[in-house]
Amino acid sequence: MTIAGIELLPTAGTIALGLVGVALFLAALRLFRGPALADRVVALELIASLMVGAIAVISIVGEQPILIDVAIALALVGFLGAVAFARYMEKGTTATRTFDDPEED
């Protein structure tokens, strides 16, 4: 579809890729600034979500429908990473915890 001599979808896709690039930069800013470990994990989680969206846009711009499999795999890895990080944060900070508690899991 063409409007005023401009291919609509490639233009929209290019603009969208620019916007997602800015979003990735902002997320990386939060990743570097922190301040807490949780902030960095939030930023990493956001970067995973942003990459899923970016891959979807790239698959449209590049006419490669197969790339959606990459998006699915990345979403899966991002979820597993978030869960693993959350477990690590939760268990890694309980060094003072009493392990002789009989009701402990």
Partner 1 sequence: MLDLLASVLVLLGALLMLLAAVGVVRMPDVYTRMQASTKAASLGAGTALLAVAFHFPEASVVVRAVLAIGFIFLTAPISAHMIVRAAYFMGVPLWERSTVDDLEGRYDHAAHRLASPAWVQSSRGEQSGDG
Closest approach of Cβ 14 to partner 1, in Å?
Answer: 10
Contact residues: partner 1, CB under 8 A: 1, 8-9, 11-13, 15-17, 19-20, 22-27, 29-30, 36-39, 41-43, 45-46, 49-50, 52-54, 56-57, 59-60, 65, 68-69, 71-72, 75-76, 78-79, 82-83, 85-87, 89-90, 93-94, 96-98, 101
Name the residue nearer to partner 1 (CB basis): 5 or 65.
Answer: 65
Residue 17 has what DSSP assignment? Answer: H
How many residues in total does the chain contain? 105
What gap in Å lies between CA 32 and CA 90, rounded to an integer? 22
Q: What is the DSSP string of 45-82?
A: HHHHHHHHHHHHHHHHHTT-TTHHHHHHHHHHHHHHHH
Closest approach of Cβ 102 to partner 1, in Å?
Answer: 11
